[in-house]
Structure 1
Amino acid sequence: MIPDYKKRKPNNSRPSSGTASYRYRFLALNFVFAVVAVVLMVRAIQLQVVESGFLQREGASRYQRTVTVNAYRGAILDRNGEVLAMSAPVRSVWVNPQKLQMTIEQASKLASYLGFDRRVLEKKIRKNAGQTFLYLKRQVPIETARSIEKLGIAGLELEKAYKRYYPEVDSAAHVVGFTNLDGKGIDGCEMQYDAWLKGQPGKKEVIRSAKGGVIENVQFLKTPVSGHDLELSIDSRLQYVVYESLMKAVRYHHAKSASAVVLSVPSGEILAMSNYPSYNPNFRSGSVDARYRNRAATDEFEPGSTAKPFAIAAALEQGLITTNSVISTSPGTLRIGKKTIRDHRNYGNLDVAGILRHSSNVGASKLALMMPYRDLYDAYVKVGFGQPSGSFFPGEATGNLDFLQRPHKIEQAALSYGYGLSTTVLQLARAYLPIANHGRLPQLTLRPGGSESLQINQVMSATVADQVRGMLEGVIDRKRGGTGSRAAVPGYRVAGKTGTVHKNSRGQYMEDKYIALFAGMIPASRPRLVMVVMVDRPSAGEYYGGSVAAPIFSYVMRRAVRILNIPPDALNGQQREPILQARSDEPNKVEL
């Protein structure tokens, strides 16, 4: 059946109220969406354009940090390029206590790697819970740091750092010195040349994770600049020989301490400067005691008879005596006021060389009293007593040589045999340089090259210096009764002077406590080396400079002439080799 379309009437009725309501809701929803879209668009523009710089800075402040990059500290080398101090890479372990997250197992392993007890470690962290930075341990070896890193502890960081190592250990400790944990030199050459060695640290930006770990290096803001290497005049071979000899002498003679200095005659370079006891700069205790003090440069004492050559030089310079002059020392004493000056025995008539050979206090005093006090005083000042040596070593003492406006005769006489003034081993060694160097006094230095670019003063005539040096050779002559015969070196002419001094404590001389001294040079025909030895309070029986200090000179110089290739100047000379062996009844003592 076909539908009849023609009969169907059109529907002209209006829409219902439900349909109209739907349309209104649809339009309202579209309007809301449009408004939200506009708001979001405006906000996006604000964030991406207007506030982008601020937001980037805020984000960087949460995850981007500027950290310091430590600079490599320069090495310290001896004159032959041997390493005396160097820096090796290590790590410093630190935490942010506010972000630190670790299990008991991790804490136990961390404490074990750091050498702590776990409870101690936890207590340290709890105590600093309010901090954002806490060092747990600094200068941790690389291998240990790698093991710590594998623990994966949130809030723990490993900072790149350097640790100072000293290959020569205790033999060169007093010269080289040491640094603190921050790499700052606080003693010795480490302190003296800190600005040259330390370099300049750098800075870089890094991005850290939420746990605090560095996940990306952004850029270097400042590149670190490594420090300069420092070459010293010290010869590490000779330095060790000196240290070894002092150690053996102190043990054998039951002494409190010993110090020695070896100088290069032409240049004033310090080739060795050592003390015993010493310390190991690689493993220092927290306290600073006498072992850390470079006694060769800081400790003052009265030079005793080692000062006699300067009184004789003064008398020769002024023409008051000649090398052939004879002085009566009978009866072995000299009375000045209420004081009596004594010799070891009555030596009778002595020529000037004999006064030195027998170390006559009476003879030296008579020579000193021949001249005005001012002339004697000036002679001592010219060779450096009471003056800085020029080494600029930290803590170096200048000694004491006060000018007396109205000196008593006993004070003038005492000056001639080394009482009434004070000096150091380093200063005394420098005073002997003019005698070895034709009257010329160079400035001391710890840098190689010596005084070539520094001023060298002519402090006594070459003739007088050579005459005094010839007299000092007689001190080593055993056949003529020289007090320094045990300083002899086979094949070489040696010149020197012994000294034995009563210790002074609070203005009083102690009768049973001594300082043993020897100052000498080799080879005497044309000296290359000057050495001064001081042994403080030998207490095993012997205490004279000739029996305690002189053998140390001989022991060191026998090796020094080989190390430095110094040719002999007395091949026909026969000298006794000092004993250097352990006693059978005292295996821990060594005889020198």
Structure 2
Amino acid sequence: MSWRDRTTPMQSGPSQGRRRGNGASTRKRMVLVIGVLGLASLGLVARAFDLQVVRKQFYQNQGDARFLREMPIAVSRGTVFDRNGEPLAVSTPVVSIWANPSEVLESEDRIPQLARALGANPDEIKQYLMQRSEREFVYLRRQMNPDAAQVVLDLGIPGVNGQREYRRYYPSGEVTSHILGFTNIDDHGQEGLELAFDDWLAGKPGAKRVIRDRMGHVVEDVELVREPQPGRNLTLSIDRRIQFLAYNELKNALEQSQSDSGSMVILDAPTGEVLAMVNLPTYNPNALRASNASQRRNRAMTDVLEPGSTIKPILMTAALSSGKYTPTSPMIDTGGGHWFFQGHDIHDTHNWGVLTPTGVITKSSNVGAAHIAMQLDTALMYDTYRAFGFGNSTSSGFPGESSGLLKVGRDWRPLEKAIMGYGYGLNVTALQLANAYATLANNGVMHTPTFIKGADGEPKAIVATQVANDVVKMMETVTAPGGTATTARIANYIVAGKTGTAHKASIGGYSKNSYTAAFAGMVPASNPRLVAVVIVDNPKKGSYYGGMVSGPVFARVMEGALRLLDVPPDNIGRWYAGGPMQGENGLAGSKPPTDQPIDDAPIGDPTP
């Protein structure tokens, strides 16, 4: 064997094996690494697919839940104006301070600083937050002045934020409070016209989606979710100037007579628009917490009263419509001022002797009215009262308006019918009474009372024009010398109206010492523009008669209102309409007329 044959296997065999082994191992490792990387890549791709496609919405929602918020966009409530464009209710921007309790509690050492800025007790705030720590949103203070709220926000306390809102403000305060009502802290109407027209005034808040940082600060507006719709404005029929006049005069009258309460309603006769409505006691809607439910009640709409002698013109409308009576005939014997009917003494304050129908109105004779009532067909009398709106809501749209009470005519007993002739046995509101007089003033055509300027109603003729005009002429004598309301005269204007002084109902009958003093009238009587009703409840000092207590309020308010509205006079140089008083007031006797007002209060208990 040659040396090559001996040496070649020894030198080449093992080396070549190692090279072959190393190459195979390398390839295996490379395959393994590549396989592992491939699997990892596949896992990453699968994970990415899972995150980006399969569970994309879940994780996106989770992220949004931490940083994306939908925030309301506050809208301003519509402004309420009077008929001349003066604002009666406006919305002013405010800021409400809210917090995320858990975030604030993480900076517990700053709670005293927060409390000082809010004017609150630190311990109370801490306890409040701890009790609500599971929530993400709680109010700390609602409707702060923007400047005061900014002081709180400038502290930079984590979890404390501000939210813009609007607060209702009433420039006329207590003067218009019963008409307007008020809103709650969330700016929703609660009473009055704020409630009646809440949908119109409120508008619809918008919404936007924003990104907030962990401090709660908005860092980006993402999108507008819902377009805000501001509230719409509302123009009322109310004349703020006349409203102030009525308020001041009624307030003075109540203070002088030490009365419990009072109301005054003023209507525009040709349209039925409410020009003023005042109630006392009243309240300030800008400081609602200082008031009570009794002060917030709109008595002219919700409280009922027996109208007393103010019903007599409505009775006379039925009498003239029946054809049995005219303003001057037949003559009515008041029987010395007393008529004992079915065991009940119906009587007057004076012996008026024999009166014409006009004289019954002039002197406010209860005996005369009872005699007329008993001569009328019950159905006619009931239908007339009903047609003038008694027993029905006026449909003014005011929340909580009372319908009053009028018993069905077929159920009237004779004595009930007699006393209904002079205003007992039925209940009316001040607005109902004013609307009835406005119907007479408007030639027998009734409008639906409205608080909205220019509202188109559906007028309805309920009585013949001639009858309405005759009754108005009869009422002119009430303010003439010898009538019960000479205090309601207005220089250079003819005033037509009627007084009413009614005993107040009490437990077991009628109070002998508590009265409702009323006056209802219209001016200028030759072409009525304004109708007003004044109700004074339970006057305790001085006179309690409607002509003495309520008549002067009517005169002073109407005098100012006529001037403000530039209504031309219809009686220049004279105090009252007509010629000799004996012909005007329908007295058949020889009693001399007097320029002093007489009373019309029923004497004794009118209970059937």
- The question of a shared fold, defined as TM-score above 0.5 by the shorter chain, is answered with yes
Which structure 2 residue ranges, 5 or more long, are not aligned? 1-10, 577-608
C-alpha distance after superposition, 1:451-492 (max 9, x if no partner): xx32212211111111111111111013xx211111111111
Letter of the 2:153 partner, please give it: E
Pairs within 5 Å for 1:266-345: 266-285=270-289, 288-325=292-329, 326-345=331-350
Asked if 1:463 corresponds to 2:470, the answer is no
Q: Secondary structure at the match of 1:410?
A: helix
Give 1:74's aligned residue.
78
Asked if 1:226 corresponds to 2:230, the answer is yes
Give 1:216's aligned residue.
220
Q: Secondary structure at the match of 1:242?
A: helix
How many Å apart are 1:25 and its aligned residue? 13
Give 2:475's aligned residue.
472
More helix per residue: 2
How many Å apart are 1:37 and its aligned residue? 5.8
Give 1:571's aligned residue.
572
Q: Call closer, same or farther: CA 1:30–1:293 in 2, change over 3 Å.
A: same
Letter of the 1:455 partner, please give it: E
Is this contact kept in 2: 1:336–1:409, CA < 8 A? no
Which range moved further: 285-294 or 353-362?
285-294
Q: Call closer, same or farther: CA 1:54–1:403 in 2, change over 3 Å.
A: closer
Asked if 1:498 corresponds to 2:502, the answer is no
C-alpha distance after superposition, 1:66-88 (max 9, x if no partner): 22223322111111111111111
Q: Call closer, same or farther: CA 1:374–1:36 in 2, change over 3 Å.
A: closer
Q: Call closer, same or farther: CA 1:551–1:108 in 2, change over 3 Å.
A: farther
Which range moved further: 416-425 or 536-545?
536-545
Is this contact kept in 1: 2:98–2:162, CA < 8 A? yes
Q: Call closer, same or farther: CA 1:25–1:406 in 2, change over 3 Å.
A: closer
Letter of the 1:458 partner, please give it: A
Asked if 1:61 corresponds to 2:62, the answer is no
Give 1:486's aligned residue.
487
Q: Once the two structures are aligned, what percentage of the paired residues are identical?
A: 41
Q: Call closer, same or farther: CA 1:507–1:456 in 2, change over 3 Å.
A: farther
Q: Call closer, same or farther: CA 1:154–1:25 in 2, change over 3 Å.
A: farther
How many correspondences in the alignment? 559
Q: Call closer, same or farther: CA 1:178–1:367 in 2, change over 3 Å.
A: same
Is this contact kept in 1: 2:480–2:575, CA < 8 A? no
Give 2:451's aligned residue.
446
- Partners of 2:325 and 2:47 in 1: CA distance: 106
- Partners of 1:492 and 1:149 in 2: CA distance: 63
Letter of the 1:159 partner, please give it: Q
Q: Secondary structure at the match of 1:137?
A: strand
- Partners of 1:287 and 1:24 in 2: CA distance: 95
Q: Call closer, same or farther: CA 1:267–1:408 in 2, change over 3 Å.
A: same
How many Å apart are 1:46 and its aligned residue? 4.8
Is this contact kept in 1: 2:379–2:410, CA < 8 A? no
How many Å apart are 1:43 and its aligned residue? 3.9
Q: Secondary structure at the match of 1:98?
A: helix
- Partners of 1:152 and 1:489 in 2: CA distance: 66
- Partners of 1:123 and 1:221 in 2: CA distance: 36
Is this contact kept in 1: 2:444–2:462, CA < 8 A? yes
Q: Call closer, same or farther: CA 1:120–1:494 in 2, change over 3 Å.
A: same
- Partners of 2:49 and 2:447 in 1: CA distance: 78
Give 2:522's aligned residue.
521
How many Å apart are 1:369 and its aligned residue? 1.1
Give 1:110's aligned residue.
114
Which range moved further: 399-408 or 465-474?
399-408
- Partners of 1:286 and 1:216 in 2: CA distance: 43
Q: Call closer, same or farther: CA 1:51–1:435 in 2, change over 3 Å.
A: closer
Give 1:131's aligned residue.
135
- Partners of 1:38 and 1:415 in 2: CA distance: 99
Picking from 398, 402, 405, the partner of 1:400 is: 405
Asked if 1:157 corresponds to 2:161, the answer is yes
C-alpha distance after superposition, 1:379-428 (max 9, x if no partner): 11111111121201100001100114353322111011000000000000
- Partners of 1:160 and 1:148 in 2: CA distance: 14
Is this contact kept in 2: 1:100–1:154, CA < 8 A? yes
Is this contact kept in 1: 2:77–2:201, CA < 8 A? yes
Is this contact kept in 2: 1:156–1:213, CA < 8 A? no
- Partners of 2:444 and 2:57 in 1: CA distance: 75
Letter of the 1:331 partner, please give it: G
Q: Secondary structure at the match of 2:101?
A: coil
- Partners of 2:469 and 2:44 in 1: CA distance: 101
- Partners of 2:57 and 2:422 in 1: CA distance: 82
Picking from 238, 244, 261, the partner of 1:240 is: 244
Give 2:594's aligned residue.
none
Letter of the 2:516 partner, please give it: I
Q: Call closer, same or farther: CA 1:534–1:30 in 2, change over 3 Å.
A: same
Letter of the 2:267 partner, please give it: L
- Partners of 2:224 and 2:82 in 1: CA distance: 35
Is this contact kept in 2: 1:101–1:153, CA < 8 A? no
Q: Secondary structure at the match of 2:505?
A: strand
- Partners of 1:337 and 1:246 in 2: CA distance: 40
C-alpha distance after superposition, 1:536-558 (max 9, x if no partner): 11111321101111111011111
Q: Call closer, same or farther: CA 1:484–1:207 in 2, change over 3 Å.
A: same
Letter of the 1:94 partner, please give it: W
- Partners of 2:538 and 2:271 in 1: CA distance: 33
Q: Call closer, same or farther: CA 1:409–1:46 in 2, change over 3 Å.
A: closer
Q: Call closer, same or farther: CA 1:418–1:115 in 2, change over 3 Å.
A: farther
Is this contact kept in 2: 1:343–1:360, CA < 8 A? yes
C-alpha distance after superposition, 1:312-342 (max 9, x if no partner): 1211111112222221113110110110001
Q: Secondary structure at the match of 1:405?
A: helix
Q: Secondary structure at the match of 1:464?
A: helix
Letter of the 1:175 partner, please give it: I
- Partners of 1:167 and 1:272 in 2: CA distance: 16
- Partners of 2:315 and 2:85 in 1: CA distance: 41
How many Å apart are 1:294 and its aligned residue? 0.5
Is this contact kept in 1: 2:92–2:166, CA < 8 A? yes
Pairs within 5 Å for 1:11-26: none
C-alpha distance after superposition, 1:259-300 (max 9, x if no partner): 010000000101111101111111111874111110000000
Q: Call closer, same or farther: CA 1:417–1:113 in 2, change over 3 Å.
A: farther
Letter of the 1:510 partner, please give it: S
Picking from 441, 444, 455, the partner of 1:436 is: 441
C-alpha distance after superposition, 1:427-459 (max 9, x if no partner): 000011122111111111111124xx3221221
How many Å apart are 1:500 and its aligned residue? 0.5
Q: Secondary structure at the match of 1:152?
A: coil
Q: TM-score with structure 2 length normalisation? A: 0.87
Give 1:186's aligned residue.
190
Q: Secondary structure at the match of 2:460?
A: strand
Q: Call closer, same or farther: CA 1:435–1:45 in 2, change over 3 Å.
A: closer
Q: Secondary structure at the match of 1:384?
A: coil
Give 1:171's aligned residue.
175
Q: Secondary structure at the match of 1:562?
A: helix
Which structure 1 residue ranges, 5 or more long, are not aligned? 1-10, 576-592
Picking from 249, 252, 258, the partner of 2:262 is: 258
Give 2:587's aligned residue.
none
C-alpha distance after superposition, 1:13-55 (max 9, x if no partner): 969x9xx89x979967966677656654654455455554443
How many Å apart are 1:251 and its aligned residue? 1.3
Give 2:101's aligned residue.
97
Which range moved further: 273-282 or 120-129?
120-129
Q: Secondary structure at the match of 2:190?
A: strand
How many Å apart are 1:174 and its aligned residue? 0.6
